[in-house]
A and B are shown apart, each in its own frame.
Chain A
Amino acid sequence: MAPDTQTPAASIDKLEQALLPKIETGDVELPLLPHVASKVMALASDADADAAKLSNLIHQDQALAAHVLRIANSPAYMPRSSVVSLQHAVAMLGINLLSEIAFTASLKNGAFQVPGHEDQVKLMWRHSLASGSYGKEVARMRRVNVETAYLCGLLHGIGKPVILRTVATLAKTLTLSLEPEILQPLINGYHTRVGILIADKWGLPKQVAEAISYYQDYDHATAFRQECLLTCVADRLSTHILSPEELPEDELREHPVFADLNLYPNDIDQLLAGKGKILTVVNAMNL
């Protein structure tokens, strides 16, 4: 059946009416936390974790192992010599960094897949990667935990691919065409609510769950306000470097979150000057 030709506002309205009850009743297909990602998270809090355990874990998934090796050899990590095995990668990059790479690659394969919408998912993924990487840089500047900042940035938009998949299915059922101007308001409006459901299902650390919930509305955060502020800054910086036409530099600098996180104008200059490093990581992880 040919899609209905309706105004974008009417289509958004119809889709919203179908989407909202699904979210409210939890009738949304949430992704599972990828097996390796979950094991890597557990390994991070395991005092007995070692290089052999990590490389054995990654070896369980051959496709993932290949991705990890490719990333470890990319310009983002500048190995002095070619990394030929996972154990070699652990020795070169360290357990922490390799765990981060494995978690990230595993997340992409498990949670950022929407057949038929590959281009949009790619944009979401690049935004998540840039936010994670910027989260680390902002955390370094504020002298707070870098690892948590990365997770908050990487996962703050984890609800977006789920909303995309759900809305795409609904559009097919309701025979509505799905243009970007219809899709974007729905993703922007509802991804946080789905993100909260995912954080709960995956048992993510409270700091990350709070950042997903409140990064756009940090004044209402009930705890971990700093992580929420930091994620908001990372989100805006990554939007700016990936789509400067969407968020020009002047507009970026005017956002009160920078002052709220006590970032002075020269701190923002320094963060913007580091965009080359962020883009290198994004391109390396762009699976």
Chain B
Amino acid sequence: MSTPTAYDLVIIGAGPAGQKAAIQGAKAGKRVALIERERGIGGSCVYRGTIPSKTLRESALHISRLRRASEAFEFHIKPDAEISALLSRLEEVVHAHDIFMSKQLRRNGISLFHGRARFLNDRTVEMQAVDGARQQFTAEYFVIATGSRPRNPPEFPVDHEHILDSDSLLSTSSYEAVFPLA
């Protein structure tokens, strides 16, 4: 185990709240570390919530307009092509957000780490990287901005197959499922 790395501020979770806290900390002249367990930054807002649902909504409306036009101008849209197009567009938008936000963090001199964090004591956090390597961080202040996940009530076991939650619904292959979400 390497010696702990010291920061003024360590933030756990790189969603909208974590990012803003990190940027404010950096602007105040603090040395900031931001730890995110997912590969991309942005949290549920970018990957599971706001951005995907709005992107799907806009794309679904666009396809719906195309469908109406197809009746008038006698061209055909394959049902499978529609859902693929929606999901493909979603990937592009999410990727663009990831690039934008990474640049913003780099510009502000924030150190971004990819791993799962846990507290060892009130001044030390240990992070496990995805390859299993461990690293410790010490700081005067910590911000826990880990957000939320869909609840999984025991009486309705969410298996992402027969019972979906708002996360798995976003990658559905069923066109009908996209509209209520959007």
Interface size of A as a range = 20 to 34
- Tell me, in angstroms, the Cα distance from A168 to B19 when the chains sit together: 59
A262 contacts the other chain (Cβ, under 8 Å)?
A: yes
- Tell me, in angstroms, the Cα distance from A203 to B160 when the chains sit together: 25
Q: In the complex, which residues of chain A have a beta carbon less than 8 angstroms from the beta carbon of B174?
A: 44-45
Nearest CB in chain B: distance from A101 CB, A: 13
Interface size of B as a range = 20 to 34
B159 contacts the other chain (Cβ, under 8 Å)?
A: yes
Render A256-287 as a binary contact track against B, CB cut-off 8 A, 1 for contact: 00111011110000000000000000000000
A14 contacts the other chain (Cβ, under 8 Å)?
A: no
- Chain B residues 150-170 with CB under 8 Å of chain A are 159-162, 165, 167-168, 170
Question: A144–B84 contact, CB under 8 A?
Answer: no
Q: In the complex, which residues of chain A have a beta carbon less than 8 angstroms from the beta carbon of B88?
A: 206, 223-224
- Tell me, in angstroms, the Cα distance from A145 to B86 when the chains sit together: 15
Name the residue among B39, B132, B165, B173 with the largest chain A CB count within 10 angstroms.
B173
Chain A interface helix/strand/loop/mixed? helix
Nearest CB in chain B: distance from A246 CB, A: 23
Question: A265–B161 contact, CB under 8 A?
Answer: no
Taking a contact as CB atoms closer than 8 A, the residue among A146, A223, A259 that contacts B159 in the complex is A146
A205 contacts the other chain (Cβ, under 8 Å)?
A: yes
Question: B116–A264 contact, CB under 8 A?
Answer: yes
**A140 and B159 in contact, given A206-B80, A206-B88 (Cβ under 8 angstroms):** yes
- Chain B residues 22-58 with CB under 8 Å of chain A are 37-39, 48
Question: A143–B160 contact, CB under 8 A?
Answer: yes
**A148 and B173 in contact, given A259-B131, A264-B116 (Cβ under 8 angstroms):** yes
- Chain A residues 104-157 with CB under 8 Å of chain B are 136, 139-140, 143-148
A177 contacts the other chain (Cβ, under 8 Å)?
A: no
B171 contacts the other chain (Cβ, under 8 Å)?
A: yes
Question: B161–A262 contact, CB under 8 A?
Answer: no
Binding site for B on A (CB under 8 A): 44-45, 47, 94, 96-97, 136, 139-140, 143-148, 203, 205-207, 223-226, 258-260, 262-265
Ranked nearest first, the 5 interchain pairs of A and B with the lowest CB-CB distance are A206-B84, A146-B161, A145-B171, A143-B167, A144-B171
